[in-house]
Amino acid sequence: MRVHVVIAAAVVGLSACSSLGEAPVTPDSRAGLFDEVFAAYERTGRFSGVVLAAEGDELIFAKAYGLADRESETPNRIDTVFDPGSVAKPFLAVVILSLVEDEVVGFDDSPMRYISGLDPLIWGDVTIRQLLSHTAGVMDHADADGFFAAGVGADLSREDLLAYFRDEPLLFEPDSRYRYSNFGYSLLAMIAEAASKTTYPELLEERVFKPAGMTDTTWGTSMTAGGAKGYVRDFGGATDAGPYSSASASIGAGDIVTTAMDLWRFDRALSKGALLRHDTMTDMIAPHAEDRDRGRAYGYGWELYDVDGSHPMVRRAGHAGLALHMTAVIERDLKTDGFFAILSNIRDSDDVINNVPPPLIHAMQSDARHLLTGKNVSPPRPSLVEAFLVSRSTQGFEAAFAEMQEREITASNKWSFSPNEVVLAVFGDLWGDYEECERLTLFAIERSSDPWLLYETLGDIRSAAGDVEGALTAYKKALQDMPYREYLLDSIASLEARP
């Protein structure tokens, strides 16, 4: 690989990566734009981590921002290790697909062939293919009673983990729809172990890390090797050290620690056929399921963007990750051979509401995508909603609301205003005071060109306040734009079933 442009602190981290090449650094205007935009994200207080962008074997940009450890004031470096959460899913997909190539497992095999004690009345129609594409109907972590309270941070045996979902009914008939399932990917890791008679960490090392040259990536989510410490940030600004999830509790779903440079090595190994055959690679990034809620498709372990349903042609494949204390995203441009990775050791609290993507990591993903393709991106502006919350904590709701209205009228170009942030504020700081929640949400609806999420939130507010008719009106308004959204359909059915 050839180092193209590296900004400032990035050079420090590259000293351990000499195998990437010694070509002279040449200028690229995109590098300065990347730095301008992500330095602005750092100034918001909501991003601290590493950003890397490349095209083929040429590194366009890499830089570390913020602190890996706030107590010791240790800065992040290019080679700092992070927990990327569900960015681990493409790695599991590679393991499973390599086992398919070796005829150790088959796409249409049942989990019951490898895992004992599964009820055929539940699992009889489930296949490995469906587990890979999240179309098996297996429940997710959020559906399991007590998992987030006790399981996610515990050192669980495979049997203990299975106990959370093994005997639970499927959420729908296999192959009838898409629903993301971390448990489904954990089951795949267990299948891989049983079929190969090799532990999943060993499979990762043998079939992914070693052939890709990923020397700084390991199985596990603890930061014993001096990696970044994770922090959870309240939407009002307070930041505290966050908890770590257990790799054994999320095996196959979110169970590695890695660096931005190693993620680029993973991309290069995939592109050059070092991990899978070409036909297998093509199948992995083909659309096997439609994620209607988020307007994208899903392959085997990859989120697929810009899918042309008439061909079908996939332009980009990637995956976002949310650990308990960190966020991450990788994306591959299949047309230009572009790649970027964003790793952050700050995660906003309450940043997953009703399975809606958190605003920050996806905003950064969109900006990196545009920057890499040479499009202009404006640096992020201060959040109007966050300023409102800070003001509310000292002046009260009325004064803060009036101040927000004045800022929006007189200086809207200086502030960002995101519907997602309104949702986070409602379900976080404001929840319980339903009048305040409704006023802020209606304020946002009036200013949004795509208000379905806000109408859904308004439905939640009114439902919690006991206004059934008002809730139904809001939910049905949201349903006009999102007719297949499960949460809306379930909420409407539940309210209409009330006596």
Nearest of 313, 251, 301 to residue 275 by alpha carbon: 301
Nearest of 344, 343, 341 to residue 372 by alpha carbon: 341
Give the contacts of 419 (CB within 8 A, at least 6 positions apart).
444, 448, 450, 451, 453, 454
| Cis peptide preceding 312, ω within 30 of 0 | yes
* Amino acid identity at 304: L
Integer Cα distance of 356 and 346 in angstroms: 18
Residue 20, CA distances (Å) to 135, 214, 288 in order? 39, 12, 34
Number of Cβ atoms within 10 Å of the Cβ of 390? 15
Q: Which residues of the chain register pLDDT less than 50?
A: 2-26, 310-311, 352-357
Supply the pLDDT for residue 25: 37
Give the contacts of 321 (CB within 8 A, at least 6 positions apart).
84, 85, 86, 87, 88, 254, 327, 328, 329
118: phi then psi, degrees, rounded to nearest 5: -85, 135
Supply the pLDDT for residue 323: 85
Integer Cα distance of 256 and 270 in angstroms: 18
pTM listed for this prediction: 0.84
Supply the pLDDT for residue 235: 61
Integer Cα distance of 446 and 340 in angstroms: 35
Q: Are 166 and 117 in contact (CB under 8 A)?
A: yes
- Beta-strand runs (E) in 270-322: 289-291, 296-298, 303-308, 313-322
Supply the pLDDT for residue 322: 87
SS3 state of residue 370: helix
Nearest of 125, 97, 106 to residue 302 by alpha carbon: 97
Integer Cα distance of 290 and 194 in angstroms: 30
| The 3-state secondary structure of 193-233, one letter per residue | HHHHCCCHHHHHHHHHHHHHCCCCCEECCCCCCCCCCCEEE
